[in-house]
Amino acid sequence: YERSFLSREINLRTLAKLLWEMGKPDLAEKYFIRLLEQLPLQDPLLGDLYHDLGRLASHVGNLDKSMEWHKKASALKKQNQSSTTVGKFI
């Protein structure tokens, strides 16, 4: 199961990036979000997906949406850093 899930993760992200390169940003966003909805909350790929979505939104000129995605990525990074730091002291 884990192997097929990992394969699906990579395939959806790869498909989204391919669609983006083909000039189909709406479909790319759809597949990025579909993968995002399938990932567990602690998945390390989440931050990368938020950045991908932020870059995609910026690419199509939606700067507000881009900022939202980048803020989520930044918040997730801070959350992960603080939980890692807390774990080191306990």
Residues 6+ apart with CB under 8 A from 13: 31, 32, 35, 45, 48, 49, 52
- The boundaries of the domain holding residue 72 are 2-89
Per-residue pLDDT of the chain (90 residues; tens, 9 = 90+): 455 655 666 689 999 999 999 999 999 999 999 999 999 988 989 999 999 999 999 999 999 999 999 999 999 988 877 765 545 544
Q: Count of domains in the chain?
A: 1
The whole-model pTM stands at: 0.79
**Which CATH number goes with the domain that contains 72?**
1.25.40.10
What pLDDT is recorded for position 3? 59
